[in-house]
A = this chain, B = another copy of it.
Amino acid sequence: MPSSIVVPKKLTTVEQYKAFLDQYDTFLLDCDGVLWHGSHVLEGILETVHFLRKNGKKLVFVTNNSTLSRANYVKKFQKLGIEATEKDIFSSAFATAVYLRNILDFPKDKRVYVIGESGIVDELKDVGIESTGASDDNGVIMTHADFGSIEQDPTIGAVVCGFDLNLNYRKLAKAFTYLNNKEQNAHFILTNDDTTFPAPNGIYPGTGSLAQPLITALNRNPLVMGKPNKPMLDCFFANYHTDPSRTCMVGDRLDTDIDFGVNGNIATLMVLTGVSTEAEAMDPKQPIKPTYIMQSFGDFAKVENA
């Protein structure tokens, strides 16, 4: 039964929380709006994380942000007081590395051209894939005479595009040149297609926008990894080998988190501590429906104290 025709079930009592937890072993957790807002951890989250782990539940933190490696995300979690190791973090950069390594069986003699930051480079290196690009062309000034210096590179087997604060024309021209070579047939992968990037002082163009010059000039669509797209979940199961029927996606946004679970045909729990509202989820015209709704993920701490 696809989740899209399910009427969301609201969890409000400790008994309902218990019955829900009995059904699932693994929780994929969106972070901002579920665990924290900015640098403020939500009420009950630390206790909930501790309680669930004590009871043998696996928690995996899922993020579309490709700028940091899992090793650097761990530091962010530590700073906020949430225990986490690299194995608990599933980012779009790591998912992309898993995809190239485990699903595409990326050739040993090929390299990846990266538009993006260190998160992608580090995760590729971690699975034994060499990359080029990334910060190499940061801050380059080009003249029209420099077009001649952009040459085909037969070692490039894929172009990965993620968020890059130092995106510039030279990077786009190189990526275009590699991908426009039909014989080379390089893979074209986007870490995610979020059109905006949330910075502390407002929103700015995101990965899904930055990749558009390539998509338009090439007239070619990339494989898109991050939520709400299915490849991210395929890579999750390729890496973690958990039982899909006992895995639940938890998030605050219908259009990314919940759609992600729906697309992957796993259970979804929407919390009301972030962007989407209960009214939006219950709207008969809303095509994306969570399996469950509850006020806050932190409310599971009440089960321990009950």
Q: Is the CB of B168 within 8 A of A210?
A: no
Task: Judge whether A251 is part of the interface by a CB distance below 8 angstroms.
Answer: no
Contacts of A196 in B (CB 8 A): 217
Pick from A94-102, A124-132, A139-147, A298-306 the stretch touching chain B. Answer: A139-147
Task: Judge whether A237 is part of the interface by a CB distance below 8 angstroms.
Answer: no
Within 8 A of B (CB), among A117-153: 138-144, 146-148, 150
Contacts of A168 in B (CB 8 A): 166-169
The CA of A180 and the CA of B199, in the complex, are separated in Å by 15
Q: Mark A70-103, 1 if CB is under 8 A from B, else 0.
A: 0000000000000000000000000000000000
Q: Is the CB of B169 within 8 A of A144?
A: no
Within 8 A of B (CB), among A151-204: 164-169, 172-173, 176-177, 180, 195-196, 199-204
Q: Is the CB of A147 within 8 A of B205?
A: no
User: Closest CB of chain B to A218's CB: distance in Å?
Assistant: 9
Q: List 17 A-B contacts (CB under 8 A).
A: A139-B139, A141-B166, A143-B165, A144-B165, A144-B199, A147-B200, A147-B202, A150-B204, A165-B169, A167-B168, A169-B210, A172-B210, A180-B203, A195-B216, A195-B219, A209-B216, A209-B217
The CA of A217 and the CA of B204, in the complex, are separated in Å by 8
The CA of A146 and the CA of B199, in the complex, are separated in Å by 10
Contacts of A143 in B (CB 8 A): 165
Contacts of A199 in B (CB 8 A): 144, 147
Task: Judge whether A212 is part of the interface by a CB distance below 8 angstroms.
Answer: yes
- Counted per complex, copies of this chain come to 2
Using CB atoms, name the residue of chain B closest to A215: B212
Contact among B166, B169, B210 for A166, CB-based, below 8 A: B169
Task: Judge whether A2 is part of the interface by a CB distance below 8 angstroms.
Answer: no
Q: Is the CB of A201 within 8 A of B147?
A: yes
Task: Judge whether A214 is part of the interface by a CB distance below 8 angstroms.
Answer: yes
Known: A205-B172, A212-B216. Contact between A141 and B142, CB under 8 A?
no
User: Closest CB of chain B to A133's CB: distance in Å?
Assistant: 15
Contact among B139, B202, B208, B214 for A140, CB-based, below 8 A: B139
Contacts of A195 in B (CB 8 A): 216-217, 219
Q: Is the CB of B148 within 8 A of A176?
A: no
Contacts of A228 in B (CB 8 A): none
Contacts of A169 in B (CB 8 A): 164-168, 205, 210
Q: Is the CB of A205 within 8 A of B210?
A: no
Using CB atoms, name the residue of chain B closest to A168: B168
User: Closest CB of chain B to A194's CB: distance in Å?
Assistant: 10
Using CB atoms, name the residue of chain B closest to A165: B142
Task: Judge whether A226 is part of the interface by a CB distance below 8 angstroms.
Answer: no
Task: Judge whether A213 is part of the interface by a CB distance below 8 angstroms.
Answer: yes
